[in-house]
Every structure is written in C-alpha cells, then in structure tokens.
Amino acid sequence: METENIFLFVPNLIGYARVVLALISFFLMPCCPWPAVFCYLLSALLDAFDGHAARALNQSTKFGAMLDMLTDRCATMCLLVNLSLLYPSYAFLFQLSMCLDIASHWLHLHSSTVKGSASHKTIDLSGNAILRLYYTSKPVLFVMCAGNELFFCLLYLLYHIEEPAGWLYWLQGLCGIICLLKSGISVLHLITASKNMAAIDAAEREKALKMKNGQNVGVSLQVDG
Amino acid sequence: METENIFLFVPNLIGYARVVLALISFFLMPCCPWPAVFCYLLSALLDAFDGHAARALNQSTKFGAMLDMLTDRCATMCLLVNLSLLYPSYAFLFQLSMCLDIASHWLHLHSSTVKGSASHKTIDLSGNAILRLYYTSKVCVSYDKRVRVNFKGTVSERLCVCVCVLQPVLFVMCAGNELFFCLLYLLYHIEEPAGWLYWLQGLCGIICLLKSGISVLHLITASKNMAAIDAAEREKALKMK
C-alpha cells in the first residue's frame, strides 16, 4: 500500500508558499514598501486557494488547518511589529492588538479541541447571539476579517504614499471602525473560551470528587455561552 | 451544593496579577526603563508561585495552565516588540523569534491535545523514572500530564524527549533565553555597563540560539505528529468507505 505524504499535499504546498511570501514581505518592509506589499497581498490571496484546493482534491488535513491558522496569526503579528516601528507612539496599542489576536484564537481553538474530546456530542459554542452571527454569516465574517486586515495594510501604505487621495482616509476610517468591532468580538471569544475551559475544569473536578467518594460517575457538561 | 468558582482560584488570581503587571511593564517600557523592568521581573517571579499554589491548594486547572502559557507567550512577544523599537536593524530577527516561539508552542500543545483524544490507549510511561521527572517538571510545556511519548520515534523526537527530561537543563535554557532579551533591553539603558554584563549577554545569546534550535525541533516533531494523526484518520475513513 502506497503511503501518501501529507506534507506534499497541494493545499499544504500552497501553505508553504504563503509562509515564504510572508517572510520575504516582512524582510522587505523596512526598506522596500511596494515589493513588500506585493508579497504580503499575494500571500493573503493564496489563503483563499488552499481551502478550495483541499476540498477539491480531498486533501483537508488537521496539519493544513494549523499551518493556515499559524500563518495568519504570525503574519498579523509581524505586520503589527512593523507598524509599531512606523508609529512608535501607538506601539502599546499594537501590542494589545497582537496579544488579543493570539490569545483569543488560541484559547478558543484549545477549548474547542479539549471539549471535542470531553464530550462526543458536538457542542455548539455559539450560544452567544453576537458570536452566532459572526460564525454563521459568511458575509459578516468576511467583511470583519478583511476590513481588519485592510486597516493595518492601509496604515502601512498611507505612511509611504506622498499625497494620498482623500477617499483613502475615508476607507481607513471605515476599516478602523471594523477593526474596533473585531477587537470587541475577540474579547467576547476570549471570555466565552475561558468560560468553556472553566466548565470543563468544573466537570473534571466534580468527577474526581465523586470517584473519591466511590460513586458511579456520569458526567454531563453544562455550557454557558 | 456550593459551586466553586474556578476564576477565583488562588493560582488564577496570581495569573491575573501577572497579566496586569506585564501590561504595566510594556506600557512603561518606551519611557521609564526601571519601573518597567521591575514590573516585568515581578510578573516573571509570580510565575514561580502560581504552580506551587495550584498544587498546595489542589487548584490545578486547565484554564490556569492556559492562562499561564498565554501570559508567557504574549509577554515574550511584547518584549521582542519593544526590542525591535530599540534595535530596528534587528527587527526581522526578533520577528522570526516571535513566530518560532508562538508557532512551536502552539503546534506542540495542539498536537498533544488532539493526540490525547485520538488514541484511547494511554501509553503510561510514568513507570520510567526519567519520564516521571518530565511529568512533574514545572518548566515543561506539556500541560496534559498524561503525555503520550513514542520512544520508537526519529532521532529528532528522541532528542526532544531527552531535552525535556533533563529538568535542570531545560530550566537553564528557558531562563537564559529570557535573560538574553532582558539584558538586551537593560544594556541599552545603562550608561557604562560593567564588562561582566557583556559576557553574561554573550552566554545568554548562545543559550537563546540553542533554545531556538530546540523550538525548531519541537515544530518539526509536532508537525509529524499532526500528519500521523491525519494519516490515521484518512486510513480509517478509507476503510469505512
């Protein structure tokens, strides 16, 4: 039986290309804005294709999903580092944004993964109405994510353009509002994920207590959104 | 029955204090070095206590472990941002370091967590004296004490396990790595630093390089584990078809 090599799956090859392009972009950002922007946008564009390729070729993998997620998180992180270099007075705000982005995604993914194993029933994490809208409405999700990314890109671009057109400032303002909204949603994610983790902990502690007291255990997880 | 509130457990309260102190530290770093360093070191010091408190009061939680991990990762990240501001010509290297730190820890934790659920067989290696040290290590990244380790792995996997098992070595690596970044910040702000500080910085720099190498190994091992889980799932799905 011929063993397939997950690392050579097409979506993962696209993923590696995304990583390389992003690295080149951040290497060039301090010196050469336009090549840097080109590489960054190309890397972001490929993000649209790896998902399609995975579904079309039946090559969806957990590894590929993590590669995708990590590339997104690290790319956003490095972009914000470069923005801190351009706008040092706002460095603390960019750091807050980076921490919120990493922490909310990480805790959310971790709590989902742990919960997935704790209960064989699929638990719906979107008990919160706002998060439900965010998850289930593809246009909303897309606008939020794209607008957020675009805000940071515009911050970088507008620094390097001599006399930016007026509409660019309007766009930046609009994307700034989206960025704020997305940050609010990230805070919600963080709170929800924390509650889920604590619920898992509470259930485990209850189970451990009952086992100590020699009872038969049937664990039911109660989730508050 | 009185429900205990996990969020008010003592180790988690210590965790919140760590977060607040770290935030204050990074807010002050551009303007006021010594208060910033004080807050940062205090935050790092409290890291030693939350683990002890958790064990002493039987208040170890998954939430607390994640709070601890996330605080460490974000604190290192923000410190490197501030170092990029002080040494802009090295900004790309600091970014590489941040990405490696986040990615290796995240993928390692994720692959361990998924693996823990994927296999119902628990390969209990705690009978082995050396690995018992690993399980009780306060410094190792694995927060799931039931770590599945395959000793029949590749050289890189076995190297990873060996490094994790040698507790003092691991502590020196982590501390030396942190100290390197702290020294980079401190030496920028000291007028005429003593000679020995440069020696210390050089030594810690070597440790930082070594730790980066180990992070790369962790990343590779975790990737292989994820791919192995994927392969097993695809085989299972194929057989069911």
Tell me how many residue pairs between chain A and chain B have CB atoms under 8 A apart: 134
Q: Which residues of A touch B77 (CB under 8 A)?
A: 77, 95, 98-99, 102
Measured from the Cβ of residue B17, the count of other Cβ atoms closer than 10 Å reads: 15
Question: Does A27 reach chain B within 8 Å, measured CB to CB?
Answer: yes
Residues 6+ away with beta carbon under 8 Å from B194: none
Token pair recorded at residue A22: 């992003």
User: Which of A90-94, A159-163, B226-230, B234-238 shows the highest mean pLDDT?
Assistant: A90-94
pLDDT range class, residue B204, cuts 50, 70, 90: very high
Question: pLDDT tens digit string along A120-143?
Answer: 343 445 567 777 777 777 788 888
CB contact under 8 Å between B6 and A62, yes or no, is no
Integer angstrom CA distances of residue A154 from A146, A180, B201: 12, 15, 38
The type of residue at A9 is F
**Is A93 within 8 Å of chain B by CB?**
no
Instruction: Report the alpha-carbon distance of residue B141 to residue B108 in Å, rounded.
Output: 8
Q: What's the average model confidence in pLDDT over A154-183?
A: 94
Nearest by CB to residue B74, choosing from A94, A99, A200, is A99
Tokens of B161: 């396990």
On whether the CB atoms of residues A106 and B71 are closer than 8 A, the answer is no
Average pLDDT on A51-68 reads: 92
Closest residue on chain A to B103 (Cα): A70
Residue A153 has pLDDT above 50, yes or no: yes
Pair of tokens at residue B238: 């194929």
Residue range B46-65: mean pLDDT, rounded: 91
What is the separation of C-alpha A225 from the centre of its chain, rounded to a whole number of angstroms?
Answer: 20
Tokens of A56: 């079309």
pLDDT for B188 equals 94
Asked if B186 contacts B44 with a C-beta cutoff of 8 angstroms, the reply is no
- Which residues on A lie below 8 Å from B227 (Cβ)? 6-7, 61, 63
Provide mean pLDDT across the span A14-18: 97
**Average pLDDT, integer, range B194-215:** 94
The continuous run of DSSP H or E covering A44 comes out as helix A33-56
Tell me what ipTM this predicted complex has: 0.88
Query: How confident is residue B48, by pLDDT bands cut at 50, 70 and 90?
Result: confident
Spans of all domains in chain B: 10-115
- Residue A72 annotated in active site: yes
The pLDDT value given to residue B123: 35
The pLDDT value given to residue B93: 97
Residues in chain B with CB shorter than 8 Å from the CB of A119 are none
Mean of the per-residue pLDDT values of chain A: 87
Q: Is A213 helix (H, G, I), strand (E, B) or coil?
A: coil
Residue A30 near residue A82, CB atoms below 8 Å: yes
Contact A194 B81 (CB under 8 A): no
Residue B183: pLDDT above 70? yes
Class of domain B10-115: mainly alpha
* A38-42, A50-54, B25-29, B138-142: segment of lowest average pLDDT: B138-142
pLDDT at res. A127: 60
Percent of chain B with pLDDT over 70: 78
pLDDT of A14: 96
Q: How far is A23 from chain B (nearest CA, A)?
A: 9
Phi, psi (deg, nearest 5) at residue A224: -105, 125
Kindly name the residue from A72, A101, A124, A224 that is annotated as catalytic: A72
B122: which DSSP letter?
-
pLDDT at B192 over 60: yes
pTM over 0.90: no
Given B72, B124, B144, B230, which residue is catalytic?
B72
In the structure encoding, which two tokens stand for residue B6, read together?
Answer: 């996990």
Cα separation of A112 and B144, whole Å? 16
- A 170-189 → B contacts, CB under 8 A: none
Q: How far is B192 from chain A (nearest CA, A)?
A: 26
How far is residue A91's CA from residue B27's CA, in Å, rounded to a whole number? Answer: 9
Exposed, middle or buried: residue B151 (CB in 10 Å: 0-12, 13-18, 19+)?
Answer: exposed
Point out the least confidently predicted range of A135-144, B24-33, B134-143: B134-143
Q: Estimate to the nearest angstrom the gap between the alpha carbon of A215 and the chain centroid.
A: 42
Q: How close, in Å, is residue A89 to chain B by CA atoms?
A: 9
CB B59 within 8 A of CB B77: no
**Would you give the distance in Å from CA A57 to the centre of its chain?**
24
